[in-house]
Amino acid sequence: MSLKVWIDGKLHDKEDARISVYDHGLLYGDGVFEGLRVYHGRVFELHAHMRRLFDSANAIRLSIPYTAEQLRTAIEETVRVNSFTDCYIRLVVTRGVGYLGLNPNKCAKPSVIIITDTIEMYPQEMYEKGMSTITASVIRNHPNALSPRIKSLNYLNNILAKIEAADAGVPEAIMLNGEGNVSECTADNIFLVRDGIVTTPATHDGILEGITRRVIIRLCHNLSIPISERSVQRHDLYIADECFVTGTGAEVVPVTKIDGRPIGNAQPGPITRKLSEAFHRLVREG
């Protein structure tokens, strides 16, 4: 059976799901999106994802032609028609069909797309043994150029850093900001552990405020694990006892080597494992 894709209120077979070549989401990356997870038939952190979607849209002056409740219903309908109990959701809002010019006012109406499918960010072995990363030479977009807090369709900044990772034979790259401090990875937020304290870059360091990042911070508080949001330098990466990355697609992945340097004993550490186990309990139990 072909998967169904929801586009502007109608379900289409995956093979027939189309947008116009004049859509400004395609022509200029003009739009926003969210990646969500369904666990055991329940959309995880749906309210938080919806809030970020509408915040991102407001930041680029894009009016979403549906309410959050209408989108919730559409998501549930698309998951149900595709018979998923566990899946990944891509919710996309584009500026819509316009002309061959930048002016967004030429676009008559935004377009909304909901895709449900399976996803595997990294092989299972990396969750058990950890993964290697590099620090990219491509810096994160400056917040006054294009705010990383906007989850926009324009991902070229991240893609260029991802190409560096692929060239180096690793699955992920750590991006620094214009001041040389650690920002985030190409698709994930990053956490360090040093002397029992978990640290993650702050919002002002040029990060996307990840939903899974927020859940991990909450779990740290619940488990009485000290957590700090502050600026992190490359030096802090190299001397960390543990490191891990988080994301809706990735969930929680240990990092055991950065720029060829082992992190700690080059094995997933106890706090990383504790938080990963707590996260998976949360998504299982609701």
Identify the three-state secondary structure at position 167: helix
End-to-end CA distance of the chain: 30
All residues at 6 or more sequence positions from 73 whose CB lies less than 8 Å from its CB, including other chains: none
pTM: 0.95
Structural contact between residues 89 and 15, judged by C-beta atoms closer than 8 angstroms: no
One CATH from 3.30.1360.120, 3.30.470.10, 3.30.360.10, 1.10.10.60 for 4-117: 3.30.470.10
Active site includes 151?
yes
Task: Give residue limits of the domains in the chain.
Answer: 4-117, 124-285
C-alpha pair distances (Å), 229 with each of 135, 198, 215, 216: 20, 9, 14, 12
Measured CA distances, 207 to 79, 147, 148, 158, 194 (Å): 30, 8, 5, 12, 21
How far is it, in rounded angstroms, from Cα 252 to Cα 123?
12
Set 14, 129, 151, 162: catalytic member: 151
Alpha helices in 132-256 (DSSP H): 156-167, 211-222, 234-238
Per-residue pLDDT of the chain (286 residues; tens, 9 = 90+): 789 999 999 999 999 999 999 999 999 999 999 999 999 999 999 999 999 999 999 999 999 999 999 999 999 999 999 999 999 999 999 999 999 999 999 999 999 999 999 988 899 999 999 999 999 999 999 999 999 999 999 999 999 999 999 999 999 999 999 999 999 999 999 999 999 999 999 999 999 999 999 999 999 999 999 999 999 999 999 999 999 999 999 999 999 999 999 999 999 999 999 999 999 999 988 6
> What homologous superfamily does CATH list for 124-285?
D-amino Acid Aminotransferase, subunit A, domain 2 (3.20.10.10)
The C-alpha angle with vertex 59 and arms to 160 and 79, in degrees rounded to 5, equals: 75
Q: Which among 250, 248, 252, 247 has a CA at the least distance from the CA of 271?
A: 252
